[in-house]
Structure 1
Amino acid sequence: MTTTVDQPIGQIIRSARQRLGLSQYVLADQLAAISGKSTMGRDRIARWERGSQVPRSEWRQWLAAVLDVPAERLDAGAEAARRQNRLGHAMVTATAPNGSHTARRSQGTPALLPVFRSRVQAGILAATLLNPNRAFSLSELAEQAGGSLASVSKESKLLEEAGILYTRYDGAIRLIRAATDEPMLTPLTELIRVTYGVPQVIGEEFGRVPGIGRIALVGTWAERFAGLIGPEPDSIQVRIAPQRNEKVSDQDLAAAARRAQTRLHRPVTYNVVHPPPRAGDAANGRTPNRTAPARVPAQRRRRPVVQIVSHSALNALPPAADAWTTGADKIRKFLDDGQLELFSGDSADARPYFEVADAHLTSAEEVAGHSPGSAFVLLCQAVRSIALGLLAAQGLRPVAGSRASVLGQAVVAQFGPQFRQVELLRERLLELDDPTWRDNRIGDLDVHGAIPAARSLLKTSQDLAIELNLFT
C-alpha cells in the first residue's frame, strides 16, 4: 500500500495563523466569537499546535472559516496527527517467537543499550536531547517514549534532578526540555544519537528524498530496538518503498545514506522495494517477518521560499561557494570534535531564528531609552539568534554542552569578520554578569550604536541564507 504523508493539523493551524498575522490569543477570541463558546482560550490553541490534542470536528469547521483553510485539509491533518500519535516517533513492534504476542520497546530493560533504566527513559532522552530547541509536554513525551503518563512523569523528574532535563510551566501544562548548558550532555547526546536516536536521523535524512512513500528500519538493529536479545548491530539497514508512480533518485538516496552514516558513526545500507499490486496483497499469502520494521514517517519537504534580494545586497556578500570553501575545514573539525552536529528536516530553517532576532531587536529599540542594560541583553540574544539561524540553514547546530565560543567561530569561519560581533557581544555579556568587573555598565551610546549594526547583520544574514544548502 502507498503511505501518504499529510501535514499534522497542529502545523496547519500554526502556519495559517502566522500567515494571517494572528496571535494565539487573537485566534482564540475569534473562534470564541464565531462559535459562541466563551470557554475557548489560548491554552487550547497551544495544545492543538503542539499536537498534544486534536480539535474535534466542530472546531475544525470553525477553524476552516477563521483561518481560510479547506475543511478537508483540516480533516486530513487531524487524521495525520492521530496516526502520528499512534506510531509515536518511531514505533517498533516485534513478533514474539510464538507469533501471537508483541514486545513493545516501552517495556522492560533496553536490549539496544541496557545501561539505561528502561526503554521509557531512553525514549525520553532521545526525544529531548535530539531536539534541544523544543519543549515537550508530558503527553508528547509519552507518545515519543511509548510509556504511560505516570512512568514518563517519574522518569523525567529523575532526569531533572540529575540536571539533564529542565522543566517550566505554561499555565497548567508542564513543559520539559534538555538542559543544554550542561557539559555532560555532549557525550550523552552522542550516545543517544547512535542508539535510540537512529529513527529520527534516518527519518530526517531519507525523508528529504522526493518520491519516498515509506521508510522502514529492518534487520538486527530493529530487533534490538524492539527489545529482542541478540548481537550488537553492526550496521543500520533501511528499506525504502517509493510512492506509486514515483521514481526515487539513486543519487539522492546515496547522499542521504552518507549523511546518516556521518551522524550515526556506523554503516547505513538501504534497498528499494516497490509496493506490490493492490489486488494481490490478500492473495499472496505472505506471512509477517519475525520482526516488523520500525516505521519512520517521511518528513515533509520544505518548499523553497521566494524572496526579493537587491543586487547591491548580493554584491556585498561573499558568494556562498566561497563561504563553503573557506569555512568547510573549520566546520568539519567542529563536527569531528563533537562541538557541532548535523541535523535536517523542518528544523533546518533559518527563518524562525531570524524572526526571534527581529523581535528582540524591536524590543531593544523600545526599552533602550529608559533601560539600556535590558536593551543590551536583548541585543546580544538577537545576534546569537542570527548566528544560530545561519547554521540552521546549513543543517548545523551546537551540541548541548559545547564550548560557548563555537557559535561565533563557526560563522566567522564561513562568512567573514563582519560576524565577529557574535563572540564579542557574548564576551561583553559575561563581563556584565561579573560584579567585580571594572566596567560593567551599559550606556545609551553603547546601545544606540549597536542596534543599527545588528539590524544590518540581520539583513545580511537573511540575504545570505537564501544561498545556503545543507552542509555535507
Structure 2
Amino acid sequence: MKASPSLLPLLRSRMQGELLALLLLHPEREYSITELAEACGVSPTAILREVERLVGGGILADRRVGRSRLVKARIDTPLYRPLSELMAVTFGPLPLLSEALSNLPGVREAYIYGSWAARYRGEPGPPPGDVDVLVVGSPDPDALFDLAEGVSRRLGREVNVHRVSPESWAADTADPFLTSVRERPLAPLNLDQEA
C-alpha cells in the first residue's frame, strides 16, 4: 500500500488530495471524469472509484449528461468550508497557481520548488510555511507580484516567485540558485488549463 501524502497524512493518496483540491477550490465548475483523470495524472477508473466514495460521503455532487458524468463540489454542506480551507493550505498551490499563471502573458513554464515540492513528492518533514515558485519566461514583474499576492491570500501562506529567462533555465549553468532548484524536487504547473 502506498504511503499517505506528506502534505496531508490524513489522506489515503496524493491523487485524493489533488482531486479534492481541484474540485473544492473551483466549486463553480463541473468536471468530467476524463478531465479529472487528466488533471490528476491517473486513469479514469481510479478517479471514478474516488468520486464514488466522495459522492457517497456527501462531499461531491454528480450528474449525468448523456454518457458523461459531471462532478462538482457540494457547497451546501457544513464540510465544504473547513475542507476547502484545509485543501487550500495543503494541495491548493498546484491548481491555484496553475490557473493564475496560465492566464499571465509571457509565462512559458512554471514550477513549485522548495519544501512544498519536497512534501508533494513524498519527502517527510514539517508542513511548508510558504510556497516557492519558479517562473520561466518574461511576464510583467508587477503583474507577477500582484498574482503572487492574490494566490497568497487564497492559500493563507506566502507565495515567493522567482523569475528566470528561458535561456537561463535551458542553459547548463553554474548559477548556484538554479543548480539548487534543479537538484531538489520540482512540481510542474499545468499552464494549459481551460478557464
Match of 2:23 among 123, 128, 147: 128
Match of 2:144 among 245, 250, 253: 253
AA aligned to 1:216 is Y
Q: Give the TM-score of the pair, scaled to structure 1.
A: 0.37
Asked whether 1:115 is paired with 2:5, we answer no
Q: Deviations over 1:278-331 (max 9, x none)?
A: 9x84x769898343422213468xxxxxxxxxxxxxxxxxxxxxxxxxxxxxxx
Matches within 5 A, 1:314-393: 346=195
What SS does structure 1 have at the residue aligned with 2:47?
A: helix
Matches within 5 A, 1:131-280: 131-242=26-137, 247-276=138-167
Q: Evaluate the alpha carbon distance shift between residue 207 and residue 168 of structure 1 in structure 2; reply closer, same or farther with a 3 A threshold.
A: closer
> In the alignment, what sits opposite 1:291?
184
Q: Which structure 2 residue ranges, 5 or more long, are not aligned?
A: none
AA aligned to 1:227 is G
Bigger fraction of residues in strand: 2
C-alpha distance in 2 between matches for 1:258 and 1:181: 29
Does the 8 A contact of 1:121 with 1:155 survive in 2? Answer: yes
Bigger fraction of residues in helix: 1
Matches within 5 A, 1:28-43: none
Does the 8 A contact of 1:129 with 1:178 survive in 2? Answer: yes
AA aligned to 2:112 is L
Q: Evaluate the alpha carbon distance shift between residue 288 and residue 262 of structure 1 in structure 2; reply closer, same or farther with a 3 A threshold.
A: closer
AA aligned to 2:113 is V
AA aligned to 2:135 is I
Matches within 5 A, 1:412-451: none
Q: Give the TM-score of the pair, scaled to structure 2.
A: 0.84
What SS does structure 1 have at the residue aligned with 2:124?
A: coil
TM-superposed CA distance for 1:241, in Å, is: 1.2
TM-superposed CA distance for 1:170, in Å, is: 1.7
TM-superposed CA distance for 1:232, in Å, is: 1.7
Q: Evaluate the alpha carbon distance shift between residue 288 and residue 200 of structure 1 in structure 2; reply closer, same or farther with a 3 A threshold.
A: closer
Q: Which structure 1 residue ranges, 5 or more long, are not aligned?
A: 1-106, 301-344, 347-472
TM-superposed CA distance for 1:208, in Å, is: 3.6
Does the 8 A contact of 1:206 with 1:257 survive in 2? Answer: no
Name the % identity: 32
C-alpha distance in 2 between matches for 1:152 and 1:164: 15
> In the alignment, what sits opposite 1:359?
none
Does the 8 A contact of 2:33 with 2:69 survive in 1? Answer: yes
Question: Larger radius of gyration, structure 1 or 2?
Answer: 1
What SS does structure 1 have at the residue aligned with 2:35?
A: helix
User: Aligned residue pairs: how many?
Assistant: 190
Does the 8 A contact of 2:114 with 2:181 survive in 1? Answer: no
What SS does structure 2 have at the residue aligned with 1:210?
A: coil
C-alpha distance in 1 between matches for 2:64 and 2:117: 36
Q: Evaluate the alpha carbon distance shift between residue 289 and residue 154 of structure 1 in structure 2; reply closer, same or farther with a 3 A threshold.
A: same
Does the 8 A contact of 2:5 with 2:11 survive in 1? Answer: yes
Does the 8 A contact of 2:54 with 2:60 survive in 1? Answer: yes
More displaced stretch, 133-142 vs 265-274: 133-142
How big is the alpha-carbon RMSD for the aligned residues of Structure 1 and Structure 2? 2.7
C-alpha distance in 1 between matches for 2:38 and 2:91: 15
Does the 8 A contact of 1:217 with 1:294 survive in 2? Answer: yes
C-alpha distance in 2 between matches for 1:170 and 1:292: 40
TM-superposed CA distance for 1:261, in Å, is: 1.1
Q: Evaluate the alpha carbon distance shift between residue 162 and residue 291 of structure 1 in structure 2; reply closer, same or farther with a 3 A threshold.
A: same
